[in-house]
């Protein structure tokens, strides 16, 4: 049965077809007393398997609770710990022709228990499917907890901003952007015009962002111990950051940079001749909050001895023009050419 309505069990059986090898399920070929004694031998034939006393319907896993899925996940993880084995013809001194392959349990009640390859592969495929269901349920729990925390954190931000105005300049604000994989993501938002008028360093945005994420994470995790050793525990939500947004950057580029700043630079001596372009951009990285401004010169002006263009002096002239608009190198912009 192939299609959108195919059951989970049938999908697992379809995935198993490529692993069925004719000779591997014939322990009678062994020259010693060999039998499949693993309790899960033939589990692939059960739509409702029983694993160490626990029965469940493979097609009904989504309807089970988190704790029920967790128990199934743990039992399957033990059952899926196996070693790949080969059976040989017994000959004096060891060695001999390989007859067939099988698997052998290595954990808990399955230690040294033999089972066919098809059963072993089915157990691992089933374990992987249960693990995906288990992970999705853990994610759903974290997402809901993060959503529940959002109003509290927003109120905290409002109160913290009123009592600490020195780290919350009027050109900077924060918005909760989304909940993703159980974590809250906040985005720093900068008003460029206000930043330039303030004369403050753009680095304050990064300092404030890092400070409030640390404070929020302490509040969120204060009563939620999480063990890295125990993967079954649900990690509490974290407050993370995403790249900065300059809310008026496009308008500033259109109305100020393109109409005023660039023409002034081009009108400098040899500006039209030697300036290829002027870069105005901000970096979209998680760590850096940075605006880059730097010219690109034509190669014919920077190469050769007699016609060489003094880029150092020209860049000083550019800095002078930029300063009349509030731009200060090392404070609110950099000439770095590093890319994201």
Mean pLDDT across 221-236: 52
| Same domain, yes or no: 36 and 130 | yes
- Asked if pLDDT for residue 24 goes beyond 70, the answer is no
Of all residues in the chain, what percent carry a pLDDT higher than 90? Answer: 42
Binned at pLDDT 50, 70 and 90, residue 27 comes out as low
The mean pLDDT value for 306-326 works out to 88
* 218 shares its domain with 293: no
Decide if 337 is inside a domain.
no
Q: Are residues 186 and 209 in the same domain?
A: yes
Give the domain-ending residue among 246, 262, 277.
246
Measure the CA–CA gap between 80 and 145, rounded to whole angstroms.
32
pLDDT of residue 1: 38
pLDDT given for residue 131 in this prediction: 94
* Dihedral sign computed on CA atoms, order 229, 70, 124, 84: positive
Q: Are 198 and 214 within one domain? A: yes
- 336 found inside a domain: no
Residue pair 95/88 in contact by the 8 Å Cβ criterion = yes
What's the pLDDT at 3?
A: 47
5-9, 19-23, 213-217, 258-262: lowest mean pLDDT where?
Answer: 19-23
Angle at the Cα of 46 (from 44 to 48), degrees rounded to 5?
130
Please check whether residue 338 lies inside any domain of the structure: no
121 assigned to some structural domain = yes
Q: Quick one: pLDDT at residue 232? A: 47
Residue 135 tokens read as 């992970």
Cα(319)–Cα(302) distance, integer angstroms: 19
pLDDT at 262 over 90: yes
Whole-angstrom Cα Rg for the chain? 33
Q: Is residue 312 part of a domain?
A: yes
Which residues are CB-neighbours of 178 under 8 A, at least 6 positions away? Answer: 185
Largest CA distance in the chain: 96
Average pLDDT over residues 137-166: 84
Same domain, 48 and 121: yes
Please check the confidence at residue 20 and state whether its pLDDT lies above 70: no
> Is 34 inside a domain boundary?
yes
Q: What is the dihedral of CA 69, 75, 76, 79, to 10 degrees?
A: 180
Instruction: Please state, in angstroms and rounded to a whole number, the distance separating the CA atoms of residues 47 and 318.
Output: 74
Residue 157 domain-assigned? no
Domain count, the chain: 3
Give the ranges where the chain is alpha helix by DSSP (H).
8-16, 66-79, 117-163, 192-198, 203-221, 249-252, 262-266, 271-274, 299-302, 311-323
Mean pLDDT of 237-257: 89
Q: Quick one: 42 and 102 in the same domain?
A: yes
Q: Please check whether residues 205 and 300 belong to one and the same domain.
A: no
Average pLDDT over residues 188-204: 93
CA atoms within a 13 Å half-sphere pointing along the CA-CB vector of 112 = 1
**Which CA distances in Å does 273 have to 279, 299, 311, 314?**
17, 11, 13, 12
Query: Does the pLDDT value for residue 242 go beyond 90?
Result: no
Is 295:265 a contact under the CB 8 Å cutoff? Answer: yes
Does the pLDDT of residue 228 top 50, yes or no?
no
Residue 58: domain span:
8-138
Last residue of a domain, one of 246, 276, 304: 246
pLDDT at 325 over 70: yes
The mean of the pLDDT values for the chain is: 84
pLDDT at 103: 92
Q: Residue 304's pLDDT is what?
A: 66
Q: Does 225 or 141 have the greater pLDDT score?
A: 141
Confidence band, pLDDT 50/70/90 cuts, at residue 18: low
- According to the model, what pLDDT value does residue 97 have? 78
Do 276 and 196 fall within a single domain? Answer: no
> CA 296 to CA 100: how far, in whole Å?
69
49: left (phi over 0), alpha (psi -120 to 50) or beta: beta
pTM, 2 dp: 0.66
Q: Please identify, among 222, 246, 270, the residue that sits at the C-terminal boundary of a domain.
A: 246
Flag whether 207 is in a domain.
yes
Same domain, 14 and 113: yes
Q: Specify the pLDDT at position 286.
A: 67
* pLDDT tens, residue by residue, 30-85: 657 788 899 999 999 999 999 988 999 999 999 999 999 999 999 999 999 999 99
| pLDDT score at 2 | 42
Q: What is the mean pLDDT of residues 278-291?
A: 84
Please indicate whether residue 220 or residue 189 has the higher confidence score (pLDDT).
Answer: 189
Residues 22 and 106 in one domain: yes
Q: How many residues does the chain have?
A: 340
∠ CA 266-269-274, nearest 5°, is 60
For the beta carbon of residue 251, count every other beta carbon within 10 angstroms: 12
Residues 183 and 253 placed together within one structural domain of the fold: no
pLDDT band at 19 (very low <50, low <70, confident <90, very high): low
**Residue-wise burial string across 28-52, b where 16 or more C-beta atoms lie within 10 A, e elsewhere:** eebeeebebebebbebbeeeebebe
**What is the rounded CA–CA span in Å between residue 103 and residue 295?**
66
Residue 132 sits in the same domain as residue 28: yes
């Amino acid at each position: 049965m192939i299609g959108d309505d195919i059951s989970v069990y049938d999908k697992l059986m379809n995935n198993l077809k490529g692993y069925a090898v004719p000779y591997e399920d014939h322990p009678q070929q062994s020259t010693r007393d060999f039998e499949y004694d693993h309790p899960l031998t033939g589990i692939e034939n059960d739509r409702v398997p029983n694993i160490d006393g626990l029965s469940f319907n493979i097609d009904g896993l989504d309807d089970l609770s988190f704790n029920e899925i967790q128990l199934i996940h743990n039992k399957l993880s033990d059952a899926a710990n196996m070693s790949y084995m080969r059976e040989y013809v017994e000959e004096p001194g060891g060695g001999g022709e390989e007859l067939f392959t099988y698997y052998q349990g290595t954990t808990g009640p399955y230690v040294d228990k033999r089972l066919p390859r098809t059963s072993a592969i089915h157990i691992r495929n089933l374990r992987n499917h249960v693990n995906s269901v288990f992970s999705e349920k853990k994610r759903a729990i974290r997402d809901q907890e993060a959503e529940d925390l959002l109003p509290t954190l927003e109120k905290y931000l409002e109160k913290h901003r009123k009592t600490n105005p020195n780290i919350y300049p009027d050109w900077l604000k924060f918005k909760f952007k989304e909940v993703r994989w159980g974590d809250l993501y906040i985005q720093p938002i900068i008003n460029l015009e206000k930043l330039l008028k303030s004369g403050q360093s753009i680095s304050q945005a990064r300092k404030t962002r890092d400070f409030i994420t640390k404070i929020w994470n302490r509040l969120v995790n204060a009563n939620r111990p999480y063990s890295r050793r125990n993967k079954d525990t649900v990690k509490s939500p974290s407050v993370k950051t995403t790249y900065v947004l300059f809310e008026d950057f496009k308008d500033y580029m259109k109305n100020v940079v393109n109409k005023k700043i660039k023409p002034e630079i081009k009108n400098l001596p040899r500006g039209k001749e030697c300036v290829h372009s002027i870069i105005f951009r901000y970096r979209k990285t998680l760590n850096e909050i940075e605006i880059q401004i730097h010219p690109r010169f034509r190669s014919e002006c920077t190469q050769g001895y007699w016609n060489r263009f003094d880029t150092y002096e020209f860049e000083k002239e550019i800095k002078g023009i930029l300063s009349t608009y509030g731009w200060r190198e090392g404070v609110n912009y950099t000439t770095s050419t590093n890319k994201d």
